[in-house]
Each structure stands twice: as structure tokens, then as C-alpha cells.
Amino acid sequence: MSTLNAFVEKYISIWNEPDGPTRRQRVRELWVEDAHHLAKTLEAVGHDGIESRVATAYDKWVKEKGCVFRLRDGVDGHHGTIKLRWEMLPAAGGDVVSVGFDFLVLADDGRIRTGYQFIEA
């Protein structure tokens, strides 16, 4: 379970990472080269697409709006999949702005092949 928790913490932390080169490196550590990150309104493909997706989310929600992403609850995984819930809230404290559920399908090497993101609130 500790390996699963470490992976999920690394996944969550990438959305809060201010340094572009560090984000780029972590994308390559977490996702396979031809991975997909899918949400209702977008599809990011490959390292470049996913890096752009993460950078856009960071710029809008963390840098501009002062929010932070953090693990909420509900981490579980089996048979090459991981499910987790996250929340976004003001870094200075306050009410939760958004809650989401991500379902990650892993490749044989343990990196993400496909990530499905659902915004719950």
C-alpha cells in the first residue's frame, strides 16, 4: 500500500508543481509516452499533451487563483488500476472549490496508460 500511496502523492503533487522542467520530468515518470488523460471536455495525448494539460491547470487554478490540489480520500488499486479522489481549495484556507475522481489504468511498467478524470463538484 505504501507504494500505491507514494505513487498517488506524486500524481497529486504534479498539479501543484510551479517549476516547468520539474513538471516535464514528472510527466515522463508518471505516464507512458503515448498515454491519454481524458476529462469530459478534453483529451490530452502523449507526454507533450499531458504536460500542457497539467501546466494549464496549474496556471489557472494554482498560480492565478491561489488554489492547491490535495488528496481527499478513497485511494484504492488492484489489477493495474488506481482510483483516487482529490479536492481543490484555496491555499490560504477556506471552502473546497472542487472535488474530483480520477481512475488510472496502468501500463505493464507501472506508469499511467490512461487516466480518466471526473469532476464531482
Asked if the model's pLDDT at residue 2 lies above 90, the reply is no
Pairing of strands 112-119, 31-39: parallel
Q: Which of 31, 16, 2, 26 is nearest to 115 (CA)?
A: 31
pLDDT for 74:
75
Residue 30: per-residue pLDDT: 98
Burial of 15: CB neighbours in 10 Å, binned 0-12, 13-18, 19+: buried
Residue 11, pLDDT score: 98
pLDDT value, residue 20: 96
pTM for the structure as a whole:
0.94
- Tell me what pLDDT residue 73 has: 87
CATH number where 109 lies: 3.10.450.50
Q: Which range marks the domain in which residue 92 is found? A: 2-119
Please enumerate, as own/partner, the contacts of 52-58 that have beta carbons within 8 Å and a separation of 24 or more: 54/14, 54/15, 54/17, 54/23, 54/27, 55/20, 55/23, 57/15, 58/15, 58/16, 58/17, 58/18, 58/23
* Mean pLDDT within 43-65: 98
Q: What is the chain's mean pLDDT, rounded?
A: 96
User: How many folded domains does the chain comprise?
Assistant: 1
User: Would you state the pLDDT for residue 40?
Assistant: 95
* Chain segment 78-118, per-residue pLDDT in tens: 999 999 999 999 999 999 999 999 999 999 999 999 999 99
- In this structure, the dihedral spanned by the alpha carbons of residues 73, 36, 33 and 102, taken in order and rounded to 10 degrees, is 0
